[in-house]
Amino acid sequence: MEGERPLDDELQRLREERLRKLEERLTGTPGGVIEVADGTFQTILQEHRALVVDVWAEWCGPCRMVAPVVEDLARDFAGRVTFGKCNVDENPRIASSFSITAIPTLLFFANGMLVDRVVGALPREAVKARVMRAFGTG
């Protein structure tokens, strides 16, 4: 039937869009940054020996300044250090368990242990230096 072709195309487009979003959720957001949530945190901590978690909120201006730095460093350290984002408004248990009182906060975990913390929007090179110091990478 002639009228079915646009519907088929639309269904295919919707399938592709859902698949892309699902893949993004499973593999992380663009830039190699993974989503960290209350329910997945312990698993992510066990799976990634070197992990930096950016604790942020949508309404936080300085958090928006740190986001591109985190995404950039995720690419630079790909395969050596994993970077994640945790929305504090959606994941209060993580914020509470690490006594986060200001955002953005970067939490550095080596082998499941918190080894460093950065509060505030630091420049890219300062964050990179902290990553290198925390994990002994270059």
What percent of the chain lies above the pLDDT cut of 90? 71
**Cα–Cα distance, 79 to 32 (Å, whole number):** 10
Nearest to 105 by CA among 138, 57, 37: 57
What's the fold here for domain 6-135? Glutaredoxin (3.40.30)
| Residue positions annotated with a catalytic role | 60, 63
Does 67 score more than 80 pLDDT?
Answer: yes
Output the pTM of the full model.
0.77
Per-residue model confidence as pLDDT tens digits over 77-87: 988 999 999 99
86-96 in b/e form (b: 16+ CB < 10 A) is: bbbeebeebbe
Between the CA of residue 120 and those of 1, 12, 40, 117, what are the distances in Å?
A: 60, 44, 25, 10
**Residue of higher predicted confidence among 54 and 8:** 54
What pLDDT does residue 2 have? 52
